[in-house]
Amino acid sequence: MKVIETYLGDCQLLEPAVFADERGNFFESFNEEKFNTLVGKEVRFVQDNQSLSTYGVLRGLHFQRGEHAQAKLVRVLRGEVIDVAVDLRPDSPSFGKHFSVVLSAENRLQLFIPRGFAHGFAVLSREAEFFYKCDNYYNKESEGSLLYSDPELGIDWGIDPAELIVSAKDRESPLFAQARAVIRGAR
């Protein structure tokens, strides 16, 4: 597996070594010891989540605050998504900036999103099965979100906005400028 650095500091892409032959292919999708060495920190994942969504579904931008903050290792098992991480660390040089990447079953890329980031994805294929590991348990009282269409963030979701399928809760998320006070507690 190799690490591809992003301009968001600790947010990193991971590309597995894939071994293919006439039977198909094999790759190691996760190995705690190798992962921790590659990302340069000790991360212990405690929860796995999986979702199935259709074309145009956008989930995000979500984060957990304070002691319930979560680092995530995300990947796509089937289909294709555009995956987005937004840096919410106030002391970071990339605070308020985002990184996006296409994750697919075909490219097998994984994105490591450390604590202190908001996360979201939009489905580009007919369907997508999305899988992620979290290093902390979900806590409803600590959840936060940012408006996916905030012009200040300027995220291109790769889909005509009229075709996006977004939950009422996500459509009502605050703008980045309105959420700054909440975000300061997102670490």
What is the tens place of the pLDDT at every residue in 143-167? 999 999 999 999 999 999 999 999 9
The active-site residue out of 55, 62, 68, 138 is: 62
Q: What is the pLDDT of residues 92-148, one digit of tens each?
A: 999 999 999 999 999 999 999 999 999 999 999 999 999 999 999 999 999 999 999
C-alpha to C-alpha distance for 114 and 73, rounded to whole angstroms: 8
Structure confidence at residue 182 (pLDDT)? 64
C-alpha to C-alpha distance for 133 and 44, rounded to whole angstroms: 10
Q: Which residues of 22-52 are buried (b: 16+ CB within 10 A; e: fewer)?
A: eeeeeeeeeeeeebeeebeeebebeeeeeee
Q: Is 141 exposed, middle or buried (0-12, 13-18, 19+ CB in 10 A)?
A: exposed
Q: How confident is the model at residue 28 (pLDDT cuts 50, 70, 90)?
A: confident
C-alpha to C-alpha distance for 60 and 90, rounded to whole angstroms: 20
C-alpha to C-alpha distance for 120 and 159, rounded to whole angstroms: 14
Structure confidence at residue 25 (pLDDT)? 86
62 is catalytic: yes
The active-site residue out of 7, 68, 119, 132 is: 132
What would the mean pLDDT of 15-29 be, rounded to a whole number?
A: 89
132 is catalytic: yes
Structure confidence at residue 180 (pLDDT)? 76
pLDDT at 185 over 80: no
